[in-house]
Structure 1
Amino acid sequence: MAKKLLEIKNLKQYFNEGRPNMVKAVDDVSFDIYEGETLGLVGESGCGKSTTGRTILRLYDATDGQVLFNGENVHGRKSRSELKRLNRKMQMIFQDPYASLNPRMTVGDIIAEGIDLHGLAKNSKERMARVHELLETVGLHKDYASRYPHEASGGQRQRIGIARALAVDPDFIIADEAISALDVSIQAQIINLMKKLQREKNLTYLFIAHDLSMVKYISDRIGVMYFGKLVELASADELYNNPMHPYTKSLLSAIPIPDPETERVRKRTPYDPNVHQYTPEDLPEIREVKPGHFVYCSKRELEQLQASH
């Protein structure tokens, strides 16, 4: 079995803590990511999935909980050199390929930022050779190194973003809605590129998205978030074929089917969070209903789910 690369334990990220307008963006979330796998994290806008990714990378300081990368606490006290080493091993591909690239810098300089920061090239010739290699790795001609971001399309800019993430040879990459701003045909190309790079470089991904249909094609396992909580976690096939949490069922029912006749009569499954009635003695938490399949539920709901599955 693959080893755990990342362990997220009871992670909390609260904004405006202690104030009347406090937001529990990430509320007691726990999951593991194994070396070489892709974990998909899905949910509607505002559910906390992007905040989870940013907190893992320490772009936000966690309110509580732990993020362990190869057993090392990401949010513990760190020296500048320790932070630099961690940052090299954990990278992010951002949602907006337009806003995440500095328009005043050439593509070559954008990609080489990490190379410069970590001193990965001995001289300018080696630096440029590395930039050209990275451009070709993501399917772009080396001539792009002298261009500016505005001269590239959305899909090309996202490839540049991927090249920038790969420049420091990371072990773990968070793709935060990395394909949501792209056309469907371009989305498929970026997904295929990411899968190819994962095989070649043994990369581990956290793939954050709101589109369940696309997540299935890249993910080994999928976690579903709702209002800061992880409500279900299972293998991709298991989640699609045997969803257990009502919110997951609602999300799946909203995926359009490319058949007008079927789509016309198909019924969506609404989700009403108020149907759950809990007592102080039996509060919900993430529980393993069957091997590898976790659901946010109370003990009573756990017994019902195990009896019906």
Structure 2
Amino acid sequence: MAEKLLEIKNLKQYFNQGKPNEVRAVDDISFDIYKGETLGLVGESGCGKSTTGRTIIRLYEATDGQVIYDGINVHDKKSKKDLKSFNRKMQMIFQDPYASLNPRMKVLDIIAEGLDIHGLVKNPKERKERVVELLETVGLNREHADRYAHEFSGGQRQRLGIARALAVNPEFIIADEPISALDVVSIQAQVVNLLKELQEEKGLTYLFIAHDLSMVKYISDRIGVMYFGKLVELASAEDLYKNPMHPYTQSLLSAIPLPDPNYERTRVRKSYDPASHNYQDGEEIAMREVTPGHFVYCSTKELATLQAISGSQV
């Protein structure tokens, strides 16, 4: 069994807490991420997946719950020294490569910012050599160091974002919809393939947040599905696609188009109605293991039904 790198326990992120317009963006979710794996987190816009990533890395302080990284609760870290050490281990690749790069800084300084903060280089020569090395790692070249972000294409800018994240030699990277701003499928595939290559070379662990289910399946070992702040299903990528159990997951998968005219003519799009669960007052709804490694947010009655259908019992 792989070693746990990250444990999320009953994580909550509420905005405007206690007010009439309170938003429960992340509502009591728990999951683990193991060293060397990619956990995909999917769901429609507004489901809380990006907020989950930002809370894990402490861009937002958690309302409640624990984020335990390598055995230490991230949200207990208070001193600048502790936070600095944590920030070296965990980095983020942002969704928008246009907005996440400072237009007034040259690429050399954008990528070297982390090196400077953490004192990882001794002099300007070593600083530039390290930046050039990072540029080449992500498929760019030495000449790019002296350019500004606006001089690059969308795919190239996302490569710059990846290089910046790699600069401090992190163990864990949160990729927050890193391909959603790239409108050409071939460029999206190049970025995802680069992430896979880097993972193999450097032993990285990823939380890959996206709404493109086909791309998530390609890169992820396991996939979690979020709906309105709740984690509703968690399973291996293969199992989730072959045997989706939660009605919301089934709805998402039914919406994926395939390049097959015959399939598209007969494809039936499933809709999801939360009211269809018909829960009783006081009934406990929780993430439950239906088959080994396959968890679904359900009641005990739904659990029994799902296990009967699957012909398995944990």
TM-score interval, smaller chain? over 0.9
Q: Which position in structure 2 is the counterpart of 1:143? A: 143
Contact 1:282 1:300 in 2 (8 A): no
1:229 aligns with 2:230: yes
Q: Does 1:37 align with 2:57?
A: no
Distance 1:283 1:167 in 2: 45
Residue 278 of structure 1 and its aligned partner are, at CA, apart by 1.4
Alignment-derived partner of residue 128 in structure 2: 128
SS at match of 2:173: strand
CA deviations over 1:27-80 (Å, ceiling 9, x no partner): 000000000000000000000000000000010000000000001100014210
Alignment match, 2:27: 27
**TM-score of the two chains, using structure 2 as the length reference:** 0.97
**Residue aligning to 2:98:** 98
| Stretch moving more, 259-268 or 77-86 | 259-268
Q: Deviations along 1:72-112, whole A, 9 cap, x unmatched? A: 10001421000000011000000000000000000110000
Give runs of ≥4 in structure 1 deviating > 3 Å. none
Aligned to 1:199: 200
Which residue of the partner structure matches residue 188 of structure 1? 189
- Structure 1: stretches of 5+ with no match in the other structure: none
Match of 1:286 in 2: 287
Which residue does 2:218 correspond to in 1? 217
> Unpaired runs of 5+ in structure 2?
none
Q: Write the deviation string for residues 174-196 of structure 1: whole angstroms up to 9, x where unpaired.
A: 00000011121001001110000
State the Cα distance separating 1:208 from its structure 2 match.
0.1
d(CA) in 2 for partners of 1:84, 1:21: 35
Q: Deviations over 1:203-255 (max 9, x none)?
A: 00000000111100000000000000000000000000000000000000000
Counterpart of 2:145 in 1: which secondary structure?
A: helix
Structure 1 CA distance, aligned partners of 2:174 and 2:123?
30
Identity across the alignment (%): 75
1:99 aligned counterpart, secondary structure? coil
The 5-angstrom pairing of residues 1-309 of structure 1 reads 1-182=1-182, 183-309=184-310
Alignment check: 8 A CA contact 1:95 1:179 kept: yes
Amino acid paired to 2:219: I
Q: C-alpha displacement at 1:164, in angstroms?
A: 0.0
Shift of residue 283 of structure 1? 2.2
Q: Which moved more, 1:271-280 or 1:186-195?
A: 271-280
Q: Distance in 1 between matches of 2:264 and 2:162?
A: 36
Partner deviation per Cα, 1:249-302 (whole Å, 9 max, x = no partner): 000000001122321221101111111111234221111111100000000000
Q: What secondary structure is seen at the aligned counterpart in 2 of 1:103?
A: coil
Paired residues, number: 309
Letter in 2 for 1:145: A
Moved more, 107-116 or 254-263: 254-263
Cα displacement string for residues 150-182 of structure 1 (whole angstroms, at most 9, x for unaligned residues): 110000000000000000000000000000111
Find the residue that maps to 2:217 and give its secondary structure: helix
For 2:142 and 2:72, the matched residues in 1 are separated by 37
Distance in 2 (CA, whole Å) between partners of 1:290 and 1:122 is: 53
- Say whether the 8 Å CA contact 2:77–2:83 is kept in structure 1: no
Rounded Cα–Cα distance in structure 2 between residues aligned with 1:294 and 1:280 = 23
